[in-house]
Amino acid sequence: MSAPASSGSQFSPDGITSDTLAAAGAALAAEAARFAGMGWMRGTSGNLSVTLTRDPLHLAVTGSGLDKGELTADDFVIVDRDGARTEGLGGSGHRPSAEAGLHSRIARVTGAGAVVHVHALAAVVAAHHWPHGVELRDLEMLKGLGHLAHDETVLIPVVQNSQDMVELGDAFEAVYVPATDAVGEVPVVLVANHGMYAWGADLHQARWHAELIEWLLRFRIETR
Ligand SMILES: CSC[C@@H](O)[C@@H](O)C(=O)COP(=O)(O)O
Ligand SMILES: [Zn+2]
């Protein structure tokens, strides 16, 4: 397939252009720097992804073991539906995030366009206090998650930590409740003793969800 004359961009067999990759890499680096500035990606912790193609599923995910506050636009890896590196489509030579498999699973199950994983302390403290899920209600900030500010209880699910991404993905899928006509999904899962995964239609929405949830969890902890 040849590139469209107007874009100057190269097409891969999956229709991923070099322009798409450049934009994804720049966005991942910018979001990671923002999260690092908030203290949610200390050391090399945390990882981010954006969905590049849906069928077959391909994600651009941050490289493993890098300082997430200092990523460049090249520090991403393209992975498949199982979180395994995909050769020949572009991206860096880094190892993909150790948690790429969970990113792929969340993108697959929820249809998310972006997934953010941060080690925000409030997520770990909340999962410690409420290992079976954190109940939230009657808070204006819930509207930012697509829920009601009154008369609805929103349960933030908690799963146990694992180094096995299939096991972690299974645990996530077991607690994930898809949206219905009446009630929206809850776009976050807390991983006990670890951190949070939040997602959205794109990186901006995934970030907004992470920020709102962190605020809600802090409120819940401080008022318990
Ligand atoms: C401080 S190390 C934390 C890691 O084990 C992991 O949980 C993490 O969030 C970052 O892993 P990475 O492989 O760099 O994406
Ligand atoms: Zn982590």
Pocket test for ligand 1, best of 41, 70, 97 (most atoms within 8 A of CB): 97
C-beta 98 within 6 A of ligand 1: yes
This prediction's pTM: 0.95
CA-closest candidate to residue 187, choices 106, 104, 99: 106
- Is 119 marked as a binding-site residue? yes
Q: Are 60 and 76 in contact (CB under 8 A)?
A: yes
CA-closest candidate to residue 179, choices 111, 130, 127: 111
pLDDT for 100-119, tens place per residue? 999 999 999 999 999 999 99
- Ligand 1 atom with the smallest distance to the CA of 46 is 9
Identify the band that residue 1 occupies on the pLDDT scale cut at 50, 70 and 90.
very low
Architecture of domain 18-222: 3-Layer(aba) Sandwich (3.40)
CA-closest candidate to residue 166, choices 82, 223, 96: 82
Predicted ipTM? 0.98
Q: What is the predicted pLDDT for the residue at 9?
A: 61
Report helix, strand or coil for 179: coil
Alpha carbon distances (Å) from 135 to 118, 128, 180, 219: 20, 13, 19, 12
Q: How far apart are CA 61 and CA 183, in angstroms?
A: 30
Query: Which run of H or of E encompasses 47?
Result: strand 47-54
Structure tokens at 21: 């990759």
Q: How far apart are CA 170 and CA 147, in angstroms?
A: 25
pLDDT for 109-157, tens place per residue? 999 999 999 999 999 999 999 999 999 999 999 999 999 999 999 999 9
